[in-house]
Amino acid sequence: MSGSVFGALVAPLAAKLVDWGQLLNVVEAALLAGVGITAVFALVIYGSTRAGDLRRRAQPVAAGLNAALAVVSLAGVLAAVAFAVSVMLDK
């Protein structure tokens, strides 16, 4: 019964009142940016820490690759932050 009441009354009303498409955009953007920035920053830390370890073990090629990973990831984080601010400037 409660399911049919929801189907008959609440769902159409909610669909009419709420812009679900726009809310979905918020959800997608927030999840992508929140998880993405954190994950890419973790790669910065991973790359820089591993690069230091490998340099101490005299493995310059692997150290260089990890350092490159750290640099590219850091650039990614900074670009994401700059993009977020530029989106905000779109008044």
Partner 1 sequence: MHNDVILAIVVATALGFDFTNGFHDTANVVATTISTRALAPRVAVGLASLLNFVGAFLSLKVAATIASDIVDQDVITTTIVFAGLVGAIVWNLATWYFGLPSSSSHALVGGVVGATFVAHGPGAILGAGLVSKIIVPAVLAPVLAFLAAGIAILVVYRIVGRLAPGPVNRGFRLGQVLSGGLLALAHGTNDAQKTMGVITLALIANGNLSHGHGVPTWVVIASATAISLGTYLGGWRIIKTLGTRIIKMDPAQGFAAQSSGSAVILAATHFGYPLSTTHVISGSVMGAGAAKRLSAVRWGVAGNIVAAWVLTLPCAAIVGAAVYGVTRLFGTGSLGPIVVAGAALVLIGVVFARRLRQGAAITSTAQGAS
Q: Where does this chain bind partner 1 (CB under 8 A)?
A: 16-19, 22-23, 25-27, 29-35, 37-39, 41-46, 48-50, 52, 77, 81, 84-85, 87-91
At its nearest, how many Å lie between partner 1 and the CB of residue 16?
Answer: 8
At its nearest, how many Å lie between partner 1 and the CB of residue 3?
Answer: 20
Q: Which is nearer to partner 1, 49 or 60 (CB)?
A: 49
Pairwise CA distance, residues 17 & 22, whole Å = 12
Q: Which is nearer to partner 1, 8 or 13 (CB)?
A: 13
**The amino acid at 22:** Q
- Work out the number of other CB atoms within 10 angstroms of the CB of residue 52: 14
Q: Which is nearer to partner 1, 1 or 88 (CB)?
A: 88
Q: Which is nearer to partner 1, 44 or 67 (CB)?
A: 44
**Dihedral, 55, 56, 59, 64 alpha carbons, nearest 10:** -10
